[in-house]
Amino acid sequence: MGTALSLRDISKSFDGRPALADVSLDIEWGKVHALLGENGAGKSTLMNIAAGLYAQDEGRVFFGDTELTDNDPRHAKSLGIGMVHQHFKLVFPFTVAENVLLANPKGGYGRGLAETKRQIVEQSGKLGFALDPDAPVDSLSVAEQQRAEIIKVLLGGARLIILDEPTAVLTDEEAQALLSTMRVLAGQGNAVILVTHKLHEVPAYTDVVTVMRGGRKIETIASKEATPADLTKMMVGSALAEIKHRPATEHGVVLEVQDATLGRADGAGALNGLSMQVRGGEIYGVAGVGGNGQTELAAALIGLKSLESGTILMEGDNVTAADTRTLRRRGVAFVPAERMAYGLAEDMSVASNYAIAGVDRGEFGGPLWTRQGRIAATTQTAISQFEIAGAAPTTRAGLLSGGNAQKLVLARELREDARLLVVHSPTRGLDVRACAAVHRILMEARDRGAAIVLISEDLDEIFKISDRIGVINRGRIVGEFDAPADRHEVGALMVGHA
């Protein structure tokens, strides 16, 4: 059906660091094209150039027969290029409909909003998921925010649709529905680029796959010819060592939640009598469809939200009313789902992001005077220990790839005295090597005796490293399983109406 997008000899550097080197790529109409590679391989940079967010240093970009010489996001959108970013571009206080209308204005506000709501309901139905147009974005789960981004791009008239890790926060059923819809869209003559780290999605849902490594294109092959082992080797240059699951050691109960209730911002119930126990030396995986209280549970455990009723005990002490600073000083650490929104300050240096928690504990001096030399040296040690590639203490945190940004958050949070670690979607959007590194770090913390609450909508992750699994549905733990658990039993409770 012809070429939709042609990238020729694209090179791009940031602060003198090459991100892309002579990359050429063709995307065909009517096909789903997978783009694979480790974090930092250049995938998102290449797609940001196609979408007009970045300008290449060298090379040429063509959309159909038209060369894009002065491309910007508005021009790219007018041509029909739409990108759903890994880090969402949503205005949190606005509703879903207001966000979609802001990106795709039409008519007067009142009439335009009403028409936008109708389109959201219609389009979300086609995609196989429900999305409330009137829900404020800051009340949505990460999975629901992902849905809003996809709807926003599709309603903007995109014909070339770039999806950066679209299934990272979706359940198996939701991912299948979304990817099936992408195949339908391609079958209608559109072009779809799927940036993913889930290797099983490539042969099942795509036609062509391109593998990148170190800012260069390694190979483009037909998806049906690609095996996960071959793709992994192309991505990382070698086979990965398997992380073996080890049973948790015996420790006392670190966290106990009793009959917790908590409402959402819109007044609906989020936690409805939730109870759970987590022992030291175990990873307790919380499995559930997005929007069933996971975000509120994490917020309550780290002191960002107060329970309406119920009790939270930490090593036997009542900490229900404790604030975040008190809990952190007791050894509670947190890795948020949105690392760039809540885990890091993008415009600050790696050293500042790493040291900020230690400043509060007095590790680097007092509030009026800090020991900059000690901060730099300690940060450099953490960079080496956690293998944070492309980082120096003075590097701006926003320039780190997703996997290395997550390693920085983990380096800060996983101090030796951490007693309880609340981790929300820790490998969302990360490649296979980065996922393995994060899982290894969490298991090492577990083996030191920390209690870990792993909240994730990625069932593969839950089953891989959890010692026990609790299924959350409508704000309650409706079933618990010791590892290894039956995937179908867990899935049935996730989508049931218990």
List, for residues 219-275, the tens digit of each pLDDT value.
Answer: 999 999 888 778 877 877 655 555 555 555 568 999 999 999 998 766 677 899 999
Angle value at C-alpha 407, between 402 and 409, nearest 5 degrees? 95
pLDDT band, residue 466 (cuts 50/70/90): very high
Residue 340 lies in a domain: no
Is residue 91 within 8 A of residue 99, CB to CB? The reply is: yes
Last residue of a domain, one of 236, 270, 293: 236
- Does one domain contain both 440 and 366? no
- Does one domain contain both 293 and 176? no
Residue 343 lies in a domain: no
Q: Which of 3-7, 192-196, 230-234 has the lowest mean pLDDT?
A: 230-234
Rounded CA-CA distance 34/21 in Å is: 20
- Does one domain contain both 52 and 186? yes
- What is the rounded average pLDDT of the residues 3-17? 91
Q: Which of 23-27, 400-404, 477-481 has the lowest mean pLDDT?
A: 400-404
Rounded CA-CA distance 329/420 in Å is: 11
Cis before 484 (ω within 30): yes
pTM above 0.75, yes or no: no
Q: Amino acid identity, residue 254?
A: V
Q: Is the pLDDT of residue 449 over 50?
A: yes
Domain span holding position 359: 349-408
List, for residues 131-166, the tens digit of each pLDDT value.
Answer: 899 999 988 877 788 889 989 998 999 999 999 878
Residue 247 lies in a domain: no
Q: Collapsing DSSP states into helix, strand and coil, what is residue 362?
A: coil
pLDDT band, residue 281 (cuts 50/70/90): very high
Rounded CA-CA distance 249/246 in Å is: 9
Q: How many domains does the chain have?
A: 3
List, for residues 112-130, the tens digit of each pLDDT value.
Answer: 999 999 999 998 888 777 8
Is residue 277 within 8 A of residue 255, CB to CB? The reply is: yes
- Does one domain contain both 75 and 45? yes
- Does one domain contain both 403 and 261? no
Residue 428 lies in a domain: yes
User: Phi, psi at residue 263, to the nearest 5°?
Assistant: -95, 160
The domain spanning residue 277 has which CATH number? 3.40.50.300
- Does one domain contain both 161 and 264? no
- Does one domain contain both 47 and 88? yes
- Does one domain contain both 165 and 199? yes
Q: Residue 498's pLDDT is what?
A: 45
List, for residues 48-79, the tens digit of each pLDDT value.
Answer: 999 999 999 999 999 999 999 888 999 999 99
Other C-beta atoms lying within 10 Å of the C-beta of residue 211: 25
Task: Select the more confidently predicted residue: 284 or 182.
Answer: 284
Exposure string over 102-124, b if 16+ CB within 10 A, otherwise e: ebbeeeeeeebbeebbebbeebb
Residues ≥6 apart with Cβ < 8 Å to 488: none
- Does one domain contain both 63 and 145? yes
Considering only CA atoms, which of 457, 453, 434 is closest in space to residue 445?
453
Residue 136 half-sphere exposure toward CB, CA atoms < 13 A:
10
